[in-house]
Amino acid sequence: MKKLITSESVGAGHPDKVCDQVSDAILDAFLEKDPNAHVAVETLASKGYLVIAGEVKSNAVVDIEKVARETIKEIGYDDVKWGLDYKSCGILISVHPQSPDIAQGVDEKNNKEQGAGDQGMMFGYATNETNELMPLPIILAHKLTRRIKEVRDLGILNYLGPDCKSQVTVEYDNNKPSKVKAVVIAAQHDEKVDIEKLREDIKTHVIKPILKDYLTDDTKIWINSTGRFVLGGPAADTGLTGRKIIVDTYGGIGRHGGGAFSGKDPSKVDRSGAYMARYIAKNIVAANLAERCEVQLAYAIGVPEPVGIYIDTFGTGKISDEKLSHIVKIVFPLTPKGIINHLKLKRPIYKKTAAFGHFGRNEPEFTWEKTDLAKILKERAEI
């Protein structure tokens, strides 16, 4: 049976990703000075200005405006021609203390263990179809947007702007990826650049190096299909933290609990629970206990232990999903405190996660990508 699966990625300069990175840069700035800081910060970006709002509980003092401007500069918005300039853009800040009603659920006092920062369900997913144990469409889409940023930063295509998007459609044959059927690229550019030159340059310097093993004569390629993408970034499209949750995770393959990650410290299980769910799923697949695996965790605010854990191996498991769930409860720490300590989540590591996906990356900050418990899982499974 053949089917087509499509995933999208957006570049670091996409309006929503600008907001994610600013929010996570602020989080990192607090954690750098105060690892126990509780932060929930969101950003809105529009033409010429940013609005930063949220709640913080911390002893640290952070120059939020400075952090925001430095982040915008790093992304590449350093000239008004791109629709946003870190030097001159307006920044409105409305950050207030965390609600005591929320704080009492996550603070450890009177021998009470730290509870979840909110209710909700989180999903993790893994598949053996790539070395990263991730779905191929989202891995390729991220590699394309990362490459676009690279050729801009290196001056190979110095006429490109910060904003870009990619989309990759992969043909699966009996649930195995076989070839790329379609590629869509949108790349912001200087108005003086000829569209045909841009299209040829993107094919030569971006698409072919990344997709050479998957392209066929039948692959359809669309690059800036409207013919023009000069006005981009927040000037063309309002950005908001947490609006690219499918780009952040598995590209639409596997379910999503709905909670965004960026701007939230790890006491928020929207983030830490999703990281642990990925860690569990990846270790299960790495242990060859399943070809594909989806993990759901569910929490109640103020309660340490998850109220539910559900595992689905889509009929590919070497043991039953029920037995696998039992083993997972034994092997993995599932309380917020246990997750935070095991994955070392109180570090300023989050700005890097806010572009090009939170999963499928081997950088040292991404502790939830380790497969260090795969051997223990296999031993427990007794196969």
pLDDT value at position 80?
Answer: 87
Domain 120-128+242-381 - what CATH class?
A: alpha beta
At residue 104, the pLDDT reads 54
The strand pair at 120-127 and 160-173 is best described as: unpaired
pLDDT of residue 105: 54
CB atoms within 10 A of CB 272: 28
Token digits for 171? 């043909």
Q: Which residue positions in the chain have pLDDT lower than 50?
A: none
Q: Residue 146: what pLDDT?
A: 98
Query: Taking the model in full, what pTM does it have?
Result: 0.95
The alpha carbon dihedral of 338, 341, 347, 351 has a sign of negative
Q: Which residues of 315-337 are buried (b: 16+ CB within 10 A; e: fewer)?
A: eebbbebebbeebbeeebebbbb
Q: Quote the CA–CA distance of 21 and 14 in Å, as a whole number.
A: 10
pLDDT of residue 126: 98
> On the CB side of 234, how many CA atoms lie within 13 Å of its CA?
28
The CATH number corresponding to 15-106 among 3.90.1150.10, 3.40.50.300, 3.30.300.10, 2.60.120.380 equals 3.30.300.10
Is 38 within 8 Å of 103 (Cβ atoms)?
yes
CA 23 – CA 28 distance, rounded (Å): 9
Task: Please tell me the distance from the alpha carbon of residue 330 to that of residue 75, in angstroms, as a whole number.
Answer: 42
Cβ contacts of 25 within 8 Å, gap of 6 or more: 67, 68, 70, 71, 351, 354
Question: Tokens 């989050």 appear where?
Answer: 350
Q: Write the DSSP string, 236-295.
A: TS-EETT--HHHHTTTTSS---S---TTB-TTSHHHHHHHHHHHHHHHHHHTTS-SEEEE
Q: Phi first, then psi: what are they for 90, rounded to 5°?
A: -80, 145
Strands (E), the chain: 2-10, 38-46, 49-57, 78-79, 84-85, 90-97, 120-127, 160-173, 176-189, 220-223, 239-240, 292-299, 308-312
How much of the chain is in helix, strand and coil states, percent to nearest 5?
35, 25, 40
Query: Does CATH number 3.40.718.10 belong to domain 2-10+136-234?
Result: no
Q: Which tokens belong to 162?
A: 């910060």
Length of the chain: 383
Predicted pLDDT at 81: 86
In this structure, what DSSP letter does residue 116 have?
B
Model pLDDT, residue 112: 65
The label of the residue with tokens 């971006």 reads 206
pLDDT at 122: 96
Cα 66 vs. chain centroid, distance in angstroms? 24
Asked if the domains at 2-10+136-234 and 120-128+242-381 fall in one CATH topology, the answer is: yes
Q: How far apart are CA 163 and CA 144, in angstroms?
A: 13
Enumerate the domain spans of the chain: 2-10+136-234, 15-106, 120-128+242-381
